[in-house]
Structure 1
Amino acid sequence: MSTSPDADSVDALRSHIHSLQTTINELEKQNAELSSRLSGCCCRKMEDEIGCVVDGGGAVDGNGKSMKMDKKTRKKKDFKTGILEHHPRRYVALRLMYFGQRFYGFASEAQLDPTVETPNSFRSESHHTDFGVMQSEIFKALEKTKLLVGDKKKSQYSRCGRTDKGVSSFGQVISLFLRSNLRPKNTDDANNWGLSIDRDVLDAEIDYVRVLNRVLPKDIRVTGWCPVPIDFSARFSCMSREYKYFFWRDNLDIRAMESAGQKFVGDHDFRNFCKMDAFNVHNYKRHITSFELSSCDKRLESNELWCFKIKGSAFLWHQVRCMVAVMFMVGQGLESPDVMDALLDTDGTPRKPQYTMAPEMPLVLQSCEFEGVRFICSSDARQALHVHLEDGYRTYELEAAMAYEALLTCLPQEHGFSDQSLLSTKPKKKAASHISLMSRPTEPSYEERRAKLNPKPEVRELSDQST
């Protein structure tokens, strides 16, 4: 018995619908797989077109503000955390510069906001730097750009050094794992594959400098990056550090200061030239490679800008500012260059005389030297950095010109005073008002500080008996 034409049409239609449903299911499965891959990609094309950082379905504009994207391809939870797991990564060193006037130093401290590692908008009651609570300006930018892979422990973060409140740096270095566009060829090479800096490899890699500088505040910039081995430490792999301290010459005796500065060169115990931390630091010997004074080719009428250049393997807490403070006393004729010999002789002078450190603002961590580390900066990132710094320099020059005009205009020029006399160098301090360093009250010695930290013998005996 044959079927009617209507029944054949119905069967054909049902078969076609079933085929379409199968095709739709297959396409939805493929779409899910492609969406999963897309969520972990860094879409460079979109970055260039709209001027933002695009990662994992989220976007950040040049000011660090979130930009709305298609909800179908955006995972809100991953976008908020800014930490991407299970992505290719490489261990890199980042070179940073920052102007420290508004910071309480580079490293985060309890209740001291902001620091370069602790932005003002993130506060914590904890006395420790917690990756999830006490976030940093640097890590805040890394989260916005989704460059972090894992938590702080997995990132293996290290920094070259800490700088004091108000101190700037043009060569601070940190190291950590960051997300990469590249994958190791095999798991055996996972620790060393990222050391290549070939041009074709660099062109395919994330431009870390350009991406991060788009979201960092104006007074912090990344100036270069370099792939480093996994056992690299920004702190312990550093071969030397160089500081600069700027000052106006005024009436300072440059020759006397040069003579005094040479006494620092070599291996010495600098406990009388630092803020002693007897609880954590037990070795106060440091090696100074060079101590130089040089003109900066910058003048203000009859005055001239100079700087100390101090290079060494490592430095103690406040060491440079203490060294400079005593140097200024020598330059003013208040102390002899021989006072350096007495202060460096810790057997004869076990206690540090009380004196005030030099101001922090003119101090700069100029550079940190590492073996085999060559920092990279793309031409686009270098150009943007040049424009940014040039704009800042012009702004400061305008402010300086206005301050100079105020000096000439607002102060009365009477009784024979001229423009030149208003800008004359400072007179020497009277020697009578100065108390010799070796005659001043002293701070406790290292041994005395340690004795206060350690429990008394009788208390220790009672403690032993109680256990």
Structure 2
Amino acid sequence: MRIALKIAYDGTGFYGFQRQPGLRTVEGEVIRVLKKLGIIEDIREANFKGASRTDRGVSAFGNVIAFDTNRPDLTEPRILNHYLNDVWVLGNASVPEDFHPRFWAMGKVYRYYLFNEGIDLVKLKSCAELFIGEHDFSNFARLEEFKNPVRVIRRIDVIPRGRIIMIEVEGESFLWEMVRRIVTALKFCGMGIFSEEEISFMLKEKVDKKLPPAPPENLVLWQIKYENIEFKKDSYAIEKVKREFFERFRMHLTRAAIFEDWITSL
């Protein structure tokens, strides 16, 4: 049987999502527990796949993994969460045998929590509209060989939350560091450092020097959208996640804003 898990994790505790020899990663932590419980034995035989390889420092409240197993009874969130560290399973689902969490995704939603330090929201929102639609994002990403730099942004919502500005970006797919570099552009627009004309130019013509990515710690992979895939939630697991995230982030203003949004969505 093929099982998909919806997972949350604190990205600051890992060297990114993808497993790396000798380093603590999200994939590595999940695979450790799956093997410990006998849910899978070999990751290749289990066809273990992840939806999004988030960078070091980036957190998630809605990433998805999938694997084949003969022990679906052990994939309940409350069982897995007992053994996982800094990763929480929010729900599970039985999926088709050919399900790949990345290729089946209909879209992704990211949220970035930006400190409001002298930012003009009107200018920031106006600049955000420039990114909506299909564009070549070569100037707003760390490019990888053979990857098409053209992507589609469906929407960018800008929501002030006191000292925090929440920027929610939804698209079909994203390039490496794309959201974080877009956030930098929006911030510079809001501060008057860049004009809309300059951003428009960067969306049409290649430039020698790209904008740097915003810090990863305030970026959250919020949701991955699927058609006809329903994750079964576990109330006990959700309460455990609420409690542990609150304890971890209550002293940090930015993380507190993230927590408030996320807690409302559960």
User: TM-score, normalized by length of structure 2?
Assistant: 0.89
d(CA) in 1 for partners of 2:207 and 2:107?
A: 28
User: Which residue does the alignment assign to 2:257?
Assistant: none
Question: Matches of residues 264-279 of structure 1 in structure 2 within 5 Å?
Answer: 264-277=131-144, 279=145
User: Which residue does the alignment assign to 1:173?
Assistant: 64
The yes-or-no answer on 1:364 pairing with 2:229 is no
**Unpaired runs of at least 5, structure 1:** 1-89, 118-135, 182-204, 402-467
The yes-or-no answer on 1:223 pairing with 2:93 is no
Determine which structure has more spread, i.e. the larger CA radius of gyration.
1
User: Which residue does the alignment assign to 1:289?
Assistant: 154
User: Which residue does the alignment assign to 1:355?
Assistant: 211
d(CA) in 1 for partners of 2:96 and 2:32?
A: 25
* Greater relative CO (CA pairs within 8 A, separation 6+): 2
User: Which residue does the alignment assign to 1:212?
Assistant: 80
The yes-or-no answer on 1:251 pairing with 2:118 is yes
For the Cα contact (< 8 Å) 2:75–2:92, is it kept in 1? no
Count of aligned pairs: 253
Q: How much does 1:249 deviate?
A: 1.4
User: Which residue does the alignment assign to 1:53?
Assistant: none
For the Cα contact (< 8 Å) 2:15–2:24, is it kept in 1? yes
Q: Compared with structure 1, are the counterparts of its residues 388 and 231 closer, same or farther at alpha carbon in structure 2 (3 Å cutoff)?
A: closer
For the Cα contact (< 8 Å) 1:257–1:337, is it kept in 2? no
Higher helix share: 1
User: Which residue does the alignment assign to 1:94?
Assistant: 5
d(CA) in 2 for partners of 1:106 and 1:237?
A: 19
Q: How much does 1:341 deviate?
A: 1.1
Q: How much does 1:288 deviate?
A: 0.6
d(CA) in 2 for partners of 1:395 and 1:99?
A: 9
Q: How much does 1:232 deviate?
A: 1.1
Question: SS at the partner of 1:330?
Answer: helix
User: Which residue does the alignment assign to 1:162?
Assistant: 53
d(CA) in 2 for partners of 1:352 and 1:106?
A: 30
The Cα offsets for residues 37-61 of structure 1, whole Å up to 9 and x where unpaired, read as xxxxxxxxxxxxxxxxxxxxxxxxx
User: TM-score, normalized by length of structure 1?
Assistant: 0.52
Question: Matches of residues 319-358 of structure 1 in structure 2 within 5 Å?
Answer: 319-345=178-204, 349-358=205-214
User: Which residue does the alignment assign to 1:396?
Assistant: 249
Residue 227 of structure 1 aligns with an amino acid whose one-letter code is: S
Over aligned residue pairs, what C-alpha RMSD do you find?
A: 1.8
Q: Compared with structure 1, are the counterparts of its residues 391 and 139 closer, same or farther at alpha carbon in structure 2 (3 Å cutoff)?
A: closer
For the Cα contact (< 8 Å) 2:3–2:67, is it kept in 1? yes
**Unpaired runs of at least 5, structure 2:** 254-266
Residue 47 of structure 2 aligns with an amino acid whose one-letter code is: Q
Higher strand share: 2
The Cα offsets for residues 379-419 of structure 1, whole Å up to 9 and x where unpaired, read as xxx2243134224414533x359xxxxxxxxxxxxxxxxxx
d(CA) in 1 for partners of 2:21 and 2:123?
A: 41
